[in-house]
Structure formats: structure tokens, C-alpha cells
A and B are shown apart, each in its own frame.
Chain A
Amino acid sequence: MTLDERLIAYVDGELSGDELKLFESEMAADPRLAGEVEKHKTMAARLALAYAPVIDEKVPGRLKAAARGRPAAKGRARAQVPWMQWAGMAAGLAIGVAAGIAGGHFAWPQQGPLVTRDDGVLVAGGTLKAALTDDLGTQAGPMRAGLSFKTAAGRYCRTFQSGADRIAGVACRHGEDWVMQTTTAFRAPAGPTPAYRTAGNETPAAVLMAVDGLIAGAPLDAAGEKAARARGWK
């Protein structure tokens, strides 16, 4: 090691044994070396101090949500990545709606499954809204509601997936709307469609993680779903 390397390793507490003893004896014999050590220590303290206030700052909500595996409502504003993703998805959804009509599944044919409300909130529309509100899991249409559960705040939420629209996600009931909590790309497995509730392996990980973060207690059973639907999921 060069003298500089040893000096800095000493300041960082990385010298031990003979190396440490040797450096300390050199320092004792050379005031200039001791002065350099002091300068480096001061600089390290200034650096640590300059960033220390970050520790006490309020952590933005979007980061807390991300740590819990939930999508952020906003953020990454500069990169504009989410916007571009939505633009691409919206183009795909137009095809999805057409496919839904062809399959005889439509309630509001002018709407895609995802609709941006006037206040900017993304909610279920068209076939998806119909499936979330009415399906109890017995239907085998292209847009299917899956698990139903309640959050700690008492809201009803349901998972959904559509092979035709290639999306899956979780939505929670707010008033008359199903507000998106998570949406992700979904590709239906090849072959005959398995019974949905037992097909955990086809549910995207992002959806499972979102459920895990939202659910309070166990998912609703068939009777619980029926009762919740009768009350309009309120």
C-alpha cells in the first residue's frame, strides 16, 4: 500500500495489527502526517453532516407504498415512464374492447375496461365494471372477477383478469366505482382455462402482492360474495 492508501485506510478504521502499529508510530514521528489524518477526519465528518438531515426528512408516501409492493399513485414524474406505459396500454385496450364485443360481452360498448375519471383516478369501465359488479366467479367470460376480500378500512376489493385484454389487477369499491389499485400485463395460459379460484399459478405476482398488502382477514367465500353483491359491495 502507498502512504496515501495507508493514511486513508487508517482514517476509515481499516488498519489492524502490525499495520496499525506501524502507521501510529509513523504518525507520532511526523506531525505533517498527523495533520493530514486530521484533515481527512474533518472532511469525513463534513461529508456525513451534509447528508445527515436526509434521515430526518419525511419519507414521501409514494416510497412507503413502493416498499409495501403497492404501485405509486404518482411519482417518477420526470421520467414520464408511467404515462408512456398507459398510452401503450390504451392502444391495446381499443383492441380489447372490440374483442369483447365480438365475444358478446359488453355492457357499455363505448368504454374500455379501464377508464380515467374526470379527477384523474383510474376506474373500471365496460366489461370490467360489469364483471366486478356482477360476476361471482361462476362465469367463464373473457373478463373474469377473481378473489373478493375486504380491506382493513372495510372496503370491498376484487381481483380480475382478462386473457383477451391481456390485463389483470386489483380494484376496490369506492362509491359506484371500482378504483384500480394495481394493473399488470396478463397472458392467459395456453390450453383449456382452468377453474379460476384454484389457479393461483396463473395469477400474476404483482396482483398477489397487491392483495397481500390490502387484505384484512380471509377472502370472501361464495356466500360472502353473494351477500356483498346484494349490498352493492358497500
Chain B
Amino acid sequence: MSGLEHEMVELLPRLRRLARALTRDATDADDVVQLTLERAIARQHQWRPGTRLDSWMFGIMKNAWIDETRARKRHGAVLAPAEEGEHVGDDGAGIMEARLAVGEVRRAMASLPAEQRIAVALVLIEGLSYKDAAEVLEIPLGTLASRIVRGRTALMAQLQEVAP
């Protein structure tokens, strides 16, 4: 295994987490991760050592996710309904109350427009700075900031009632 491949394996949990935040359904998410990996392997010569591998792969995932969503629509396959997003992983653990709260959050994320959802996911879930997130999405910093504000405001409106 090459060094880059080793680093990609290390990144798998984070790639899966980001994909889950984007797609709602665990199987859809892993399909996006797989497409991301295939593309990253095919383009590994484009990665500049010394730069952040996570940012580079998040950028590939953004496009893989968009392409996958379009392809699904073309083939008439609808994305999994939001209700399925309430299945929290495969562990089946967690008390009902916790599951409902998690489902609430995930449903709120799923309701965001795609461009806000990925901006919020990169910053709030993956912990990227605005600058790094803007680079991943190839948008100006101001655009990123306004997507974060709109996304966060919408999430707040939906989650307010159930907030602790």
C-alpha cells in the first residue's frame, strides 16, 4: 500500500461522516464515499504532497455527491426518504429519546438546500475554518459565510422547539 493510500484509509471515518451529513441514508453515503475514493485514486497525481489531504478529498466528494444525485434523478431512483435517516448507523443502540433527537437534527440537515448543507457540514461537523471550507467548495469567503449564516439560521428555526 502506498503512503497516500494509507492516509486515505485513515480518512475513511471522516469521509463517511461527511457523506452521511450530505445524504441522509447510510447506503447512499457509502456510495458517495466509494465514488470519491475511486476518483481520488484515479487522480492521485494531482494531489500535492504537503497540502491537506482531507480538504482535497472533501472537494472530490462535493463533486461526486452532486454527480451521484444527478445520476439518481436521471435513472428515476429517488433518494431515500428522510424517515430512513432516523436509523442511526447499524448499532441499533441508544435510547429512544436520543434517537429521536438525533433524527431531528439529521432531518433538519436534510431539509437544507444542498449548497448550505455542505457548507454547514464542513464547518460545524468537520471543523474546517471558513477559509478552508471556501477553498474546498471553490467559492469566495463571503459566499461561504453567507451560506453558513443562512444554513445555521434555518437549522435553528427547525430545532428551536426541541432544543434542551
Report whether chain A binds chain B.
Answer: yes
List residues of A whose CB falls within 8 A of some B CB: 1-2, 4-5, 8-9, 12-14, 39-40, 42-44, 46-57, 59-60, 62-64, 66-69, 72, 75-79, 205, 209, 212-213
Pick from A42, A43, A52, A62: contact of B34, CB under 8 Å: A62
Complex: chain A residue closest to B159, CB-CB: A43
Does the CB pair B30–A48 fall under 8 Å? no
Does the CB pair A51–B5 fall under 8 Å? no
- Per the bound structure, the CA–CA distance linking A13 and B129 in Å amounts to 8
Does the CB pair A75–B30 fall under 8 Å? yes
Instruction: Return B151 CB to nearest CB of chain A, in Å.
Output: 9
Instruction: Return A123 CB to nearest CB of chain B, in Å.
Output: 24
| A53-B9 CB under 8 A given contacts A66-B37, A67-B37, A78-B31 | no
Chain B interface residue bracket vs A = 35 or more
List residues of B whose CB falls within 8 A of some A CB: 1-2, 5, 8-9, 12-14, 16-17, 20-21, 27-28, 30-31, 33-35, 37-38, 41-42, 68, 71-72, 75, 77, 88-91, 101-102, 105-106, 109, 120, 123-125, 129-130, 145-146, 148-149, 152-153, 155-156, 159-160, 163-164
Sample of 19 A–B contacts (CB below 8 Å): A1-B145, A4-B153, A5-B145, A8-B149, A39-B163, A43-B156, A46-B101, A49-B102, A49-B105, A51-B17, A51-B20, A52-B17, A53-B89, A59-B13, A66-B33, A67-B37, A69-B5, A75-B31, A76-B35
Contacts of A60 in B (CB 8 A): 30
Complex: chain A residue closest to B36, CB-CB: A66
Complex: chain B residue closest to A77, CB-CB: B27
Tell me the dominant secondary structure on chain B's binding face: helix
Contacts of B31 in A (CB 8 A): 75-76, 78-79
Pick from A14, A48, A72, A78: contact of B125, CB under 8 Å: A48
Instruction: Return A15 CB to nearest CB of chain B, in Å.
Output: 11
Does the CB pair B20–A64 fall under 8 Å? no
Contacts of A46 in B (CB 8 A): 101, 105, 159, 163
What 6 additional pairs, Cβ within 8 angstroms, besides A5-B146, A44-B124, A57-B91? A8-B148, A14-B145, A53-B88, A57-B90, A60-B30, A79-B31
Contacts of A78 in B (CB 8 A): 27-28, 31, 77
Does the CB pair B159–A51 fall under 8 Å? no
Complex: chain B residue closest to A46, CB-CB: B105
| A213-B1 CB under 8 A given contacts A42-B164, A48-B124, A67-B37 | yes
Q: Closest 9 CB pairs between A and B?
A: A50-B105, A66-B37, A54-B17, A67-B8, A69-B41, A55-B13, A50-B102, A67-B9, A59-B12
Instruction: Return B156 CB to nearest CB of chain A, in Å.
Output: 6
Does the CB pair A43–B155 fall under 8 Å? yes
- Per the bound structure, the CA–CA distance linking A63 and B16 in Å amounts to 10
Does the CB pair A75–B34 fall under 8 Å? yes
